[in-house]
Amino acid sequence: MAGFVQIVEWTTSRIDEVKALSDKYREEQDPDTGPARVTVLADRDRPGTYLTIAEFPSYDAAMANSGRAQTAAFAAEMGKLCDGPPSFRNTDVEASYGG
């Protein structure tokens, strides 16, 4: 099974602003160059802590997306809304079940 998933953990007290920024970024994103799927999770045990799971068909596709000027601009704006630096996990998909 091929695939690459990046998991980003971040904290913010400005979640509504993050949502608005993310909506704008998604609207402007070319669906052929961005992630195949993005899921944002709120940690129930740590208020203000979130995880973004970005799924890509390959590591190369993820790195191409990371290198886009639009992605860099989004990351810079997102950083201003976070309470600290994010942490990143870069993972290869070994198996996937369900739909």
User: What are the tens digits of pLDDT across the range 25-61?
Assistant: 988 887 777 899 999 999 999 999 999 999 999 999 9
Which tokens sit at 75? 């990351």
- Quick: pLDDT tens for 64-88: 999 999 999 999 999 999 999 999 9
The single-letter code of the amino acid at 12 is: T
Res. 8 pLDDT band, cuts 50 70 90: very high
Long-range own/partner contacts, residues 21-27 (CB < 8 A, 24 or more apart): 21/74, 21/77, 21/78, 21/81, 25/70, 25/74
* Contact call for residues 41 and 51 (beta carbons, < 8 A): yes
What sections of the chain are H helices per DSSP? 15-28, 59-66, 69-81
Domains of the chain: 8-89 (3.30.70.100)
User: Phi and psi dihedrals of 68, rounded to 5?
Assistant: -75, 140
- C-beta separation of 92 from 3 below 8 A: yes
Contact between 5 and 53 under an 8 Å Cβ cutoff? The reply is: yes
